[in-house]
Amino acid sequence: MSGQLKEVRLRIKSVGTTQQITKAMKMVSAAKLRRAQDAITQMRPYAEKLQEILGNIIGSVDGNIGGGLNVERPIEKVLFIVVTSDRGLCGAFNANSIKLAKSIIQEKYKIQFEKGNVSFLPLGKKGFDSFTKSGYKVIPDFWTIFSNLNFEDVKTAASYVRNAFINKEYDRVELIYSKFRNAATQEFVCEQHLPIPKTKSSGSSAPKDFIFEPSKEVLIAELMPKILNTQLFKGVLDSNASEHGARMTAMDKATENAEELLKSLRISYNRARQAAITTELTEIVSGAAALQG
């Protein structure tokens, strides 16, 4: 009986220590989430408006402009930019991004995948490890981007992708990331990064007319790379905020589960201790009765 009591005490101590860790991780994630949320909240309207303007301009012109970044080619080779995190303990955050990439392959690029023409550019250690272990074609140059998240490193990755597309190494580039909604909600999305998609104006809205200075071609060629850098940076910031939100939610749930387990263990401990006391009392009474007899 004493062995059982000792085992339950050790389990209570172990779960209590784990609960302290999950509480601490929740608080750290909450602090990081606030900063990450502020960053993406300030960035998103600017990036979305730039994308809208660029899409409208491209939709109003014909032919090859901006160095061919808007040119639709027969899709032979595909590149997936998949944004994940460097660390785990954030629920299904990383698994959902990787799962979405694989499902998109089966839905849209199965033929290209069977020919070995699908590659991955992971941003984040978890995605890099997963795709590497699964035997996919992986570009290993940018997965450490979250070790020191900044615009210049994201710009370097975006420049690599842009040059590869211009050189016809890839015919389609898809960006997969988690769009931040709130701490408990993340929306995993796949967006066409290249070629730059045209914005389809609705029939009720009047066509947008712009006056260009300098010429439309020169302006677009100058704006395209900068807007693509901004779009990728927005996706990375979205995923960064989503990661901290997912981790905070996961650690909060883990803390609650630990509390429930502690309650159950304390009840088991009290029952075992009560049984041990009852047994000792019975032995004492039996011994006294034997002496009197």
Q: How far apart are CA 186 and CA 182, in angstroms?
A: 7
Angle at 165 between CA 162 and CA 171, to 5 degrees: 140
Q: Which residues are catalytic?
A: 90
CB 1 within 8 A of CB 272: yes
What is the side-by-side order of every strand in the sheet holding 137-138?
137-138, 118-123, 78-83, 172-182, 185-194
